């Protein structure tokens, strides 16, 4: 007679064999390594001296002394420091505007019977298929007198149809009875949105906010197009010149030769620039992470 062990767990909940678990662990460790290793080398290289980088023949994997010279050189340049402020301002203001408009739009579109509900929804959905076009966008920005204004970095890209649809799907999932009871208690639409819908939608709002914020932080094309005054350039546009085009930093003093020219930024400086560019997303992400899966999945399965 064979004896069957009853664990009380469903078959898919039972722990696998040791080999299976080791195998899974190994695969997951490799995946984690594939994500963490580039980040580790970027940060380590940005904190290494030129000698260490030269010895390593490129990206540094083994630490050999830590120096903040690269960061000091980047931030001693007023052009970069100001660009950080510009980017921060545009990201904060842009995310606020985008979230505000998207939430209001999505809430209205989630409630049947709102004014011009179907035509507006049709227009939003149309944005998935058709892009208004760069030239019309440029002409619109110019005709509104927004060229060389920070608004030109925000308004043309303030609302993403995708994000509105995701938010709308989430809002539609909130039980109607809840909203009806609030209405019976005398709450208006704004109060319902503010007191009931938004507190229940923290997950999706946080995720959409992250999407918008990262987008604003990384955006350089609109600035290239609409901002003529270099003092108003955001960080992404300035940094592009140093990382992609290898242009020397204006504050570079290391490597000035007898003819007054300067060497291009070292790999340490380039990696420091990359680290600065990805830093905000890295800082914000852990706070949003717990909402992330929930927010995205809800958007994905409720069309």
Candidates 23, 133, 145, 188: give the one binding other proteins (CB under 8 A). 133
Among 27, 33, 39, 134, binds other proteins (CB under 8 A): 134
Q: Applying CB under 8 A, which part among 4-12, 61-69, 113-121, 151-159 lies near other proteins?
A: 151-159
Q: Does 276 bind other proteins (CB under 8 A)?
A: no
> Is 218 a residue that touches other proteins (CB under 8 A)?
yes
Is position 303 an interface residue for other proteins (rule: CB under 8 A)? no
Rounded to a whole number, what is the distance in angstroms from the first to the last CA of the chain?
Answer: 54
Using rule CB under 8 A, residue 221 touches other proteins:
yes
Which member of 184, 229, 286, 301 binds other proteins (CB under 8 A)? 229
Nearest-approach distance from CB 272 to other proteins, in angstroms: 16
Q: Judged by CB under 8 A, which of 167, 192, 203, 249 binds other proteins?
A: 249
Number of residues that bind other proteins (CB under 8 A): 66
Shortest distance, position 129 Cβ to other proteins, whole Å: 11
**Contacting residues toward other proteins, per CB under 8 A:** 57-58, 78-79, 94, 98, 127, 131, 133-135, 137-139, 142, 154, 156-158, 160-163, 208, 211-212, 214-216, 218-222, 224-225, 228-231, 233, 237-238, 240-242, 244-253, 255-264
């Amino acid at each position: 007679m064979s004896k069957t062990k009853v664990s009380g767990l469903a078959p898919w909940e039972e722990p696998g064999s040791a080999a299976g678990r080791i195998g899974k662990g190994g695969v997951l460790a490799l995946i984690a390594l594939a994500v963490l290793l580039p980040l580790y080398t970027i940060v380590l290289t940005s904190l290494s001296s030129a000698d260490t980088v030269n010895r390593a023949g490129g990206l540094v994997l083994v630490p050999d002394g830590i120096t903040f010279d690269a960061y000091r050189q980047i931030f001693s340049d007023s052009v970069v420091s100001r660009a950080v402020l510009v980017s921060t301002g545009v990201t904060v203001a842009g995310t606020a505007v985008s979230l505000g408009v998207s939430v209001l739009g999505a809430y209205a579109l989630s409630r049947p019977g709102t004014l011009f509900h179907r035509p507006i929804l049709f227009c939003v959905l149309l944005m998935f298929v058709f892009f208004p076009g760069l030239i019309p966008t440029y002409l619109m920005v110019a005709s509104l007198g927004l060229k060389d204004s920070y608004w030109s970095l925000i308004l043309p890209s303030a609302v993403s149809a995708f994000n509105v649809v995701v938010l709308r799907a989430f809002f539609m999932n909130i039980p109607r009875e809840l909203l009806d009871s609030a209405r019976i208690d005398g709450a208006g639409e704004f109060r319902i949105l503010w007191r009931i819908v938004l507190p229940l939608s923290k997950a999706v709002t946080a995720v959409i906010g992250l999407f918008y914020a990262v987008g604003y932080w990384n955006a350089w094309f609109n600035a290239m197009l609409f901002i003529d005054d270099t003092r108003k350039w955001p960080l992404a546009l300035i940094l592009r010149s140093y990382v992609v085009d290898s242009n020397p930093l204006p504050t570079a003093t290391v490597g000035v030769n007898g003819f007054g020219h300067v060497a291009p930024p070292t790999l340490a400086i380039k990696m420091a620039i990359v680290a600065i560019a990805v830093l905000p997303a890295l800082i914000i992400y852990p706070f949003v992470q717990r909402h992330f899966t929930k927010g995205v999945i809800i958007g994905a399965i409720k069309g």
